[in-house]
Amino acid sequence: MVPAQLHFLCLLTLYLTCGYGEEGKFSGPLKPMTFSIFEGQEPSQIIFQFKTNPPAVTFKLTGETDGIFKIEKDGLLYHTRALDRETRAVHHLQLAALDSHGAIVDGPVPITIEVKDINDNRPTFLQSKYEGSVRQNSRPGKPFMYVNATDLDDPATPNGQLFYQIVIQLPQINDVMYFQIDSKTGAISLTPEGSQELDPVKNPSYNLVVSVKDMGGQSENSFSDTTYVDISVRENIWKAPEPVEIRENSSDPHPIKITQVQWNDPGAQYSLVNKEKLSLFPFSIDQEGNIYVTQPLDREEKNSHVFFATAKDENGKPLAYPLEIYVKVIDINDNPPTCLSPVTVFEVQENEPLGNSIGIFAAHDMDEANNINSILKYKLVDQTPKVPSDGLFLIGEYEGKVQLSKQSLKKQDSPQYNLTIEVSDIDFKTLCSVQVNVIDINDQIPIFETSNYGSKTLSEDTAIGSTILIIQATDADEPFTGSSKILYKIVQGDTEGRLEVVTDPTTNAGYVKIKKPLDFETQPVSSIVFQAENPEPLVKGIEYNASSFASFELIVTDVNEVPVFPQRIFQANVSEDAAVGSRVGNVTARDPEGLTVSYSLKGNMRGWLKIDSVTGEIFSTAPLDRETESVYRVQVVATEVGGSSLSSSADFHLVLTDVNDNPPRLAKDYTGLFFCHPLSAPGSLIFEVTDDDQQSLRRPKFTFALGREGLQSDWEVSKINGTHARLSTRHTRFEEQVYNIPIRINDGGQPPMEGTVSLPVTFCQCVEGSCFRPAGRQDGIPTVGMAVGILLTTFLVIGIILAVVFIRIRKDKVENPQSPENKPLRS
């Protein structure tokens, strides 16, 4: 047997064995067809058997056969070698049917062979080593370089889908990755940690090993390749510039460049942020990062400016944190000195010794303080009047101290002098006025008009602020000066400071007033001594004597006063589980007259407390409950025993500290929980619990469990957090009804409290996501039978009424026949 016949026999055997002879599936008439064949399959694979009718006896195959595709006379199409998609992905063939003379009787028709990809190529990097650089503090996630790999397999299939990852980073500090790679694009960028930690001083370069896998990195059988990446770290040039100094009121043409900022890479979009919200912002920035001042600045208006420079990418996203720009405005001497007031007034006593300071004169300069532009010099240029001579005063050149220079002054020479002071800086001069008043010296002492003001009797409840006495002293010095003004003080008999004396500035009369409450029990009689004195010191050789002192006797009468508590509010803390009869606090009160005090409670609305009427001790009389009232407030009444039985009250606050004595409960009503029936998949519902005990700073820690073990095959409860849990179904085989699911909850307190709540869950048919429940009979609404009965009864009553009315009308007609006069008129 010849080789060709042997080959054909093998094909035929394969064709028959593998079932390719099935009509319509692996064979059929000659027509355009497309076949998909995986690359790499063994040769001599039958693709299809074309059939034709006489006179066709054979077939002819042309086109992109590449010597691979053959067809037998009986129409068997097959390939003789394994296909390679990377060599040719699609073969375009032409097939025609020929008769015995070789003439075409059918066709030719296009036959398309699509070679399907298999993963038979490994990915390869375009470079065995990549080099790149990155600025420190660059924005995390922004790519600064790429690595690229290729795979000859079909990119539309997982075979050609590449997955990049960083395998090694050297150095790797504290196991923190400073670099990251986009698994699909190969873009390398900084991690947030890398953006913060990269420092060219510490580590100027890093080495990465990057791998690429095909199959999207998801298969253990994927191919891979690796490459090396060397990254150098460059210094961040996005830094705040040094503070800028600008001379105020510059006459140079504006705008003027004052500084510059620069982003690490070109293409950044720069802008300034007016932090101080100035209505007229005098700065600008161009897209080269140059910052300009756009107009002259005035230091006296604003001595410094602070604003921010920002850099953004082409999408308007910030590239880094804004930089603070500080501008200091340098002073020039553009302000003259100014007088603090139109006239500065000094007073000097007559006979003041030579050289004594009369006062310190000061002017102001708006230029920068502690600067040569604001240093002021003082010069006395005129004195009016010039009696008894000119040059009576002098002024310190820089200090501004005004002194007497020739002789002491006498008021009879002149009661007032007007001085002109020249104030100058390095460029400007200003004239200011100073007025010097000569005042009389204090050589006369105040003298009381009487040395004894007798006695005064007052009750101890005299109102504070009441005037109880007017005293009067006179002074022969010049009126309305410090030498003649009189101040009164109590020098004896009022150690508690219960009185005060207020001087009338016009008459120098002293008004003695009650400053603190009088107290008969402490001091019933007081001998008060007043002293009158001047605010100005007496001249040498003059002393106060007995004429400046006066006295009077204050007699305080007793008033029956209410008991006095030492404080307005008493407070005690006690646990809410304190035993009945426990002592929870005590109060005290004192009767000013020394009478015995009796205690009682007022406002004890819950009857929780009682008080010992003698000692003031307070006891519990009933169980306490913080959840009912966390702070129990009552009034304690103190009543004097005997006397007028006066009383006073104070508040007592009993603060109850919590005890874990309340079981957990549902936080709200959960009657509306439902699942749509029938369930398509297991579902879950969320519920919240709480309890009435005081919540600590930390959240409560509730634990959850099903109330019956028999429910575990149908339901599951799981904890979400300290207050919420999820109730889930374990299957979908539930009936359309309401299930009441008991949930056991433990609050984990000391002691722990446990409660069981019931969650009603309805399985119902749903309409537009809502539970549909057929309307049933409700309380108060009659059934259909009841409604029919009511209706029939109503009709019967109406019929009876109509019958009675009809019978009554007929009876009236029989008894009262119609008279001729009452006949109806004819129309």
C-alpha angle with apex 92: 86 to 97, nearest 5 degrees? 145
In the three-class reduction of DSSP (H, G, I as helix; E, B as strand; rest coil), residue 483 is classed as coil
User: Per residue in 47-73, pLDDT tens?
Assistant: 899 998 888 889 999 999 988 999 998
Report whether pLDDT(656) > 60.
yes
Task: Please state the three-class secondary structure of 146-191 as a single string.
Answer: ECCEECCCCCCCHHHCCEEEEEEEECCHHHCCCEEECCCCCEEEEC
Confidence of residue 813 (pLDDT cuts 50, 70, 90): low
Amino acid at 199: D
Tell me how far apart the alpha carbons of residues 329 and 304 are, in angstroms, rounded to a whole number.
Answer: 6
Report whether pLDDT(705) > 70.
yes
Confidence of residue 825 (pLDDT cuts 50, 70, 90): very low
pLDDT for res 498: 92
> What letter would DSSP give residue 463?
P
Percent of the chain with pLDDT over 90: 54
| Beta pairing class for 45-51 and 27-29 | parallel
Tell me how far apart the alpha carbons of residues 703 and 754 are, in angstroms, rounded to a whole number.
Answer: 9
Tell me how far apart the alpha carbons of residues 665 and 671 are, in angstroms, rounded to a whole number.
Answer: 14
Tell me how far apart the alpha carbons of residues 342 and 331 are, in angstroms, rounded to a whole number.
Answer: 27
B/e letters for 718-735, b = 16+ CB within 10 Å, e = fewer, are eeeeebebebebeeeebe
In terms of C-beta distances under 8 Å and separation of at least 24 residues, what long-range contacts does 388-395 make, across chains too?
388/413, 392/417, 393/358, 393/417, 393/419, 393/436, 395/361, 395/421
Please give the order of strands across the beta sheet that includes 269-273.
Answer: 244-247, 323-330, 304-312, 269-273
Asked if 497 contacts 516 with a C-beta cutoff of 8 angstroms, the reply is yes
Residues 6+ apart with CB under 8 A from 370: none
> What letter would DSSP give residue 825?
P
Radius of gyration of the chain (CA): 56
In the three-class reduction of DSSP (H, G, I as helix; E, B as strand; rest coil), residue 801 is classed as helix
Q: Of 145, 210, 160, which Cα lies nearest the Cα of 183?
A: 210
pLDDT for res 822: 37
pLDDT for res 1: 42
C-alpha angle with apex 357: 351 to 363, nearest 5 degrees? 135
User: Per residue in 323-342, pLDDT tens?
Assistant: 999 999 999 988 999 999 99
Tell me how far apart the alpha carbons of residues 341 and 397 are, in angstroms, rounded to a whole number.
Answer: 20
pLDDT for res 781: 52
Summarize the confidence of residues 765-781 as an average pLDDT. 67
Confidence of residue 192 (pLDDT cuts 50, 70, 90): very high
User: Per residue in 365-410, pLDDT tens?
Assistant: 998 888 898 999 999 999 999 999 999 999 999 999 999 998 888 8
Confidence of residue 819 (pLDDT cuts 50, 70, 90): very low
pLDDT for res 785: 62
Confidence of residue 774 (pLDDT cuts 50, 70, 90): low
User: Per residue in 95-127, pLDDT tens?
Assistant: 999 998 889 998 899 999 999 888 888 999 999
Tell me how far apart the alpha carbons of residues 361 and 419 are, in angstroms, rounded to a whole number.
Answer: 11
Report whether pLDDT(827) > 80.
no
pLDDT for res 25: 67
> Is the model's pTM score more than 0.85?
no
Summarize the confidence of residues 655-674 as an average pLDDT. 85
Confidence of residue 10 (pLDDT cuts 50, 70, 90): very low
H or E element that contains 765? strand 754-767
Q: Which residues pair with 504 in a beta bridge?
A: none
Confidence of residue 783 (pLDDT cuts 50, 70, 90): low
Task: Please state the three-class secondary structure of 282-341 as a single string.
Answer: CEEECCCCEEEECCCCCCCCCCEEEEEEEEECCCCCECCCCEEEEEEEECCCCCCCEECC
The encoded tokens of residue 81 equal 């070698």
pLDDT for res 368: 86
CB count in 10 Å sphere of residue 216: 15
- Cis peptide leading into 253, omega within 30 of 0? no
Asked if 352 contacts 408 with a C-beta cutoff of 8 angstroms, the reply is yes
Q: Of 160, 218, 217, 206, which Cα lies nearest the Cα of 180?
A: 206
Asked if 41 contacts 68 with a C-beta cutoff of 8 angstroms, the reply is no
Q: Of 635, 612, 609, which Cα lies nearest the Cα of 620?
A: 609
Tell me how far apart the alpha carbons of residues 732 and 730 are, in angstroms, rounded to a whole number.
Answer: 7
CB count in 10 Å sphere of residue 823: 8
Locate tokens 């370089």: which residue?
145
Q: Of 229, 237, 394, 259, which Cα lies nearest the Cα of 319?
A: 237
pLDDT for res 659: 81
The encoded tokens of residue 86 equal 């990377």
Q: Which residues pair with 401 in a beta bridge?
A: 360
Report whether pLDDT(821) > 50.
no
Confidence of residue 663 (pLDDT cuts 50, 70, 90): confident
Residue 544 main-chain phi, psi, to 5 deg: -70, 140
Helix extents (H) in 670-772:
none
Asked if 800 contacts 808 with a C-beta cutoff of 8 angstroms, the reply is no
Helix, strand, coil % in the chain, rounded to nearest 5: 10, 40, 50
pLDDT for res 31: 92
- Quickly count helices (H) and strands (E) in the chain: 3, 57
Mean pLDDT taken over the chain? 87
Report whether pLDDT(21) > 60.
no
Which of 422-436, 635-649, 774-788 has the highest average model confidence (pLDDT)? 422-436
Residue 174 vs residues 193, 202, 208, 679, 807: alpha-carbon distances, Å: 11, 14, 16, 51, 114
Report whether pLDDT(421) > 90.
yes
Q: How far apart are the first and last CA of the chain?
A: 136
User: Poorest-confidence range of 11-20, 504-513, 781-790?
Assistant: 11-20
CB count in 10 Å sphere of residue 596: 12
Asked if 704 contacts 718 with a C-beta cutoff of 8 angstroms, the reply is yes
The length of the chain in residues reads: 827
User: Per residue in 477-494, pLDDT tens?
Assistant: 878 888 889 999 999 999
The encoded tokens of residue 142 equal 């922004």
Tell me how far apart the alpha carbons of residues 383 and 362 are, in angstroms, rounded to a whole number.
Answer: 18
Task: Please state the three-class secondary structure of 594-663 as a single string.
Answer: CCCEEEEEECCCCCCEEECCCCCEEEECCCCCCCCCCEEEEEEEEEECCCCCCEEEEEEEEEEECCCCCC
Report whether pLDDT(567) > 80.
yes
Q: Is 222 exposed, middle or buried (0-12, 13-18, 19+ CB in 10 A)?
A: buried
